[in-house]
Structures are given as structure tokens and as C-alpha cells.
A and B are shown apart, each in its own frame.
Chain A
Amino acid sequence: MAIETAANPTASERMAYRAAAELHNGDVVFVGIGLPNLACNLARATHAPGLYMIYESGAVGAIPDRLPVSIGDPSLVTDSLSVVSQADIFQCFLQGGRIEVGFLGGAQVDRWGNINTTVVGSWEDPKVRLPGSGGACEIATHAKRLLIIMRMGKRSFVEKCDYITSPGHRHPDGRTRQDMRLPGAGPSRIITDYGVLEFDETGEAVLTEVYEGVTPEQVQAVCGWPLRVADNVRTAVSPSVEVLTLLREKLDPQRLYLK
């Protein structure tokens, strides 16, 4: 069995660590299920103890003392600042413009940051029926800034999403967020298992950062569209032994998210 050391963090550990770096102390973040949940709790345990976590289940200002298995975990309620109905979460908090950071994953993403979490294939007769939107559509519409966290592959980073569940910077028909009067600013980063993509002024994803040992050619090989690459691609900082120990032993000892 391979021994996990600081020298070889897993892809999920790199993603959680890199995503956590995007969260600042005091940010009001709408926390989604899966890796976003882990990244937010990692940020809170390290550089952003004042991260203000809101869950679509209604927990506001949550400080869970265990890693929530679901976004409706009872530990989100205990010691939170407020617990509200879903009507309040989606209307007062999200539609009312109180959320600074949204955080989503997905099955497919295109170069504009449109996300599909609904179906692979057609909606009427899908190859795979995925869970659907949940709160994703309204989070991508209203959050002031959006982080996307996804593993790369030609089937997930696609020329065209089979279905658009959540809006990115530009609809495939050419309309921009401004044209569509979407209130939030849209995706700011896609954090992947190879590196990080940012968005240029036209709303297209550009590779700006890779993990140690990864080349832009390797990233292109797992991307379904001709990928734009920044002039100076940075190398992402690797998580320290302390961070990896925290992730593995304290935050996710059951390996719920660190698969």
C-alpha cells in the first residue's frame, strides 16, 4: 500500500487545499456538498477562522465540530448564529445579494463556466440521470463570485454541456451575463486536479496555474476544448505536512471526500 506523504498529496487533497486558499477570513460563503464543504472547513481551521458559512439547509454562521456528511447535518445547527427556513435562505440571503462566494462542482463544465449537474445525454432520455440543480442554478446566478471545483477529463471539460444547469460567463448562443442581467459576477476560478483556470475579459477559461510536475500539455490532454494557456503559468503551492495531517486525521478521517 502506498504511504501518503507530504511529497505526494492526493488530487482531492490538492484541490481542497487550493480551493481553501480562495476563501478569506470574513467571507460570506454559501457552502455546497462534497469538496466545497471540506475546503471551507479547512479554510476555517487554518487561515480563515472567521469564515461565515451559510448552508442551503438553513444554517447560518455555522461552526460544525465534525465534518458535515451532508449539508443538512445536525452539527451545522448546534452553535450556529441563526437557523432559517429555505424560503429565507434563497430569498433574503441569496436573491437579496448577501452571499459573497458560491462554491459548486459538476459533471460537465464548458469554457465559459456553464455547469451541468442534471443529465448526461438528453433530458428526456438520458444516458445518466444526475441529481439536478439543487441550489446550484440560483447560487451561480446570485453569488458575487463563484468558485468551481471539478476533476478534469475530456468527458467533464466539454466543448458543449449536454444541459446547462447553472450559468457561467456566456451562454453558448453568445449572450453574456450582462445581456442576461445576471446579478452575480460569475465564476472566478475552476480548481481542478491538474491546476487552476481563471477567466479572461471575454469570459473564457484560461490555464493560469498547475500543480508541481504538471505541464500545460498534460492539462490540454484532459480538456475537451482547445485550452487557452496564460503566458506565465504559475506553479501551485503544495500543502504542508501540517495541512495534510489536519485533512487526513481531523477533518476527514473517514475519507468521505478525500477519495
Chain B
Amino acid sequence: MIHVSAPTAGVSKLRSMQEAIADAVRDGDTIAIDGFTHLICFAAAHEIIRQRRRNLTAVRLTPDLVYDQLIEADCVSTLVFSWAGNPGVGSLHALRRRSEQGSEQRIALEEYSHFGLVCRFMAAANGLPFWPLDNYRGVDIPRYNDQIRSVTCPYTGRELATVPALHPDVAIIHCQRADVEGNAQVWGLMGSQKEIAFASKKVIVVAEEIVPTEVIRRDPNRTIVPGIIVSHVVHEPWGCHPSYVQGYYDRDNDFYVKWDAISRTPETYADYLNEFVYGVKDRSEYLRKMGSGLLDRLRARSRMCEGVDYGY
């Protein structure tokens, strides 16, 4: 078969972060901002906070600082997660203040291990009602989560744990580069981005760079999310700080360490949100507050790979 021209719908999905969040995220939605340490889109979370979304069910393996901020800003009523800490540093204090003895406000917690939560996305992405896994025997995780059940294998008779499909209303996927239709290319740690994108009803792709479709086509193996499942595309350089983007900028580890003191009391937490989230209108204003010294320090040193030959 011969294509006279490359098949493209030709419709740009490019929006500002403000437009994309306003259009895609509703009160009461289930949202998943993915990225595992790498590619965590703080810019999207900050916009959700500014737009004062409420009663969200927030899903992430590692809530990280990004969901702790959503929790502190009263956006979240239910947290679905598998490891809730500040990696290498300590606690998520907004979460602890809403989940421990004596907490005045509580949020609902639905807790898995990493593998179990990944399997919920696997089921949804692959169009199945549940996913089996060889796990959760001899532990208390299923005692406190009735979504974890079991099935008997029809071939071996073995009992396997199961988890149900999880279909977020909105997935937010940060990537190194995408075209205006949302074909998103990622390298470095991939988290569960592909599975979450395919599991979700709407997908917002956020990119460090918007590139011509021609650039995507030159290296198609690198496309992790195809544009056909993407609803919005946002161009947001440095959109992950204090998280990182391989090849673009390093993780701001000093910030993660400093965050422990900032987040320890509601007062210092509020000061932070007032200055760096409510107090700025968008990401570029946030970046101006960072100062050029910080961005220069975090900017990645180049380490190009050799490329591959797609010829035939």
C-alpha cells in the first residue's frame, strides 16, 4: 500500500496549562499525574491548586511532594497510593496531618504495593476487568483494602491475587518532546506512563519541547504515548522542577531536603503555597522566582547517544 501523504489529522491540541486543566479536570475527578521520581509534572499540580479543584481522587504510586501539595491545598478527598514518603528524606507532612491519631481532617486512603497499583493500570490499559498477580500472601495489605481479591487459576489451581481495572478521568504525562497532536517521546525512567495513558479517559501530554511530527517519525521507537489517545498538549519547559527531566535538568535534591522543614507546619506550608503557587500566575513566573543560578546549576550536561539506523 502506498501513502501519498503521511496520515495526520493536522489538528493542533496545543493549549496553555491553564486552558488544559480548566478544560480537562473537574471537581470529583480521578486524576493520575505519573512519573516515577523522573518526569513528575509539578506545573500541572500547581495549576490544579490555583484553579481550586476539589474532591479529587488522586492516584500515584509515590504521592511525592506533588500530591502532598494537592492534599495541603484541599484538592484531594481520596489518595490511592503505594509508597508515601519524601524519597531519601522522610515524611509527607500534609498527608500525615490528615491520616494520624488526632488529625482533625482526614482523607480516605486506598493502599497497595507498587506492583498491585501498576496492575490496576495494566488491567485498564489492556481492556480487562482485573489483573492477576502472585502477591499479597501472609501480609496485611489485603486486610485493609477490599479491592484486593483472589482468583483460582483454571490451569494450575493456584490462587492468585487480583486487582480491578482503574480508569482515571485524566492522566497527566510529562515527556521530553511531543508534537502538537500529542505523540510523546520519553527516555530515561518511564514509570507507568504508557499504562496510565492507555488506562485514562483523557490524557494531557506536557512537553519540555514541541517538535515537528517529522522529528517524532525519525525515531518512532521512542514514542511512549500515541497522539490518538491524547486530548491536550501543553508546552511547559522546566515543568517538572523540583523533579527532573533526563537530558534537560537534574532533580533539585536540595529542595527535597529543604521541603521537610517547609512542610512540617501548616504555617510554613501555607507560606510556600502562597508564594510559589497561588502567588504566581503560571510556570514562567514560578521559574523567574527560582533565579538563574539555580536553573544553571540544574541544567543537564549533555550526554548524546549514537542513534540507530531505521533504514530498510
Point out residues on A near B: beta carbons under 8 Å: 33-34, 56-59, 69-74, 76-78, 83-87, 90, 94-95, 114, 118, 121, 123-138, 141-142, 163-167, 171, 175, 177, 180-183, 256
Contact = CB atoms under 8 A, between A and B. Distances in A.
B115 A72 contact: no
B76 to A, nearest CB: 15
B100 A131 contact: no
Most buried by A among B81, B88, B134, B191: B88
Contacts of A76: 189
A86 B118 contact: yes
Most buried by A among B81, B83, B133, B195: B83
Interface residues of B, number: 55
A202 to B, nearest CB: 16
A181 B232 CA distance: 46
A68 to B, nearest CB: 8
B134 A141 contact: yes
Nearest 6 A/B pairs, CB to CB: A72-B37, A134-B83, A131-B85, A133-B113, A167-B138, A70-B87
Given A58-B190, A137-B136, A163-B140, A86 B114 contact: yes
Contacts, number: 169
B191 A85 contact: yes
Contacts of B122: 87
B67 interface: no
Nearest to B244: A74
Would you call the interface of chain B mostly helix, strand, loop, or mixed? Answer: loop
Contacts of B187: 83
A180 B134 CA distance: 11
Would you call the interface of chain A mostly helix, strand, loop, or mixed? Answer: loop
Contacts of B78: none
Contact of A95 (B85, B133, B244): B133
A132 B84 contact: yes
Given A33-B87, A171-B138, A182-B138, A71 B114 contact: no
A259 B137 CA distance: 35
B37 A57 contact: yes
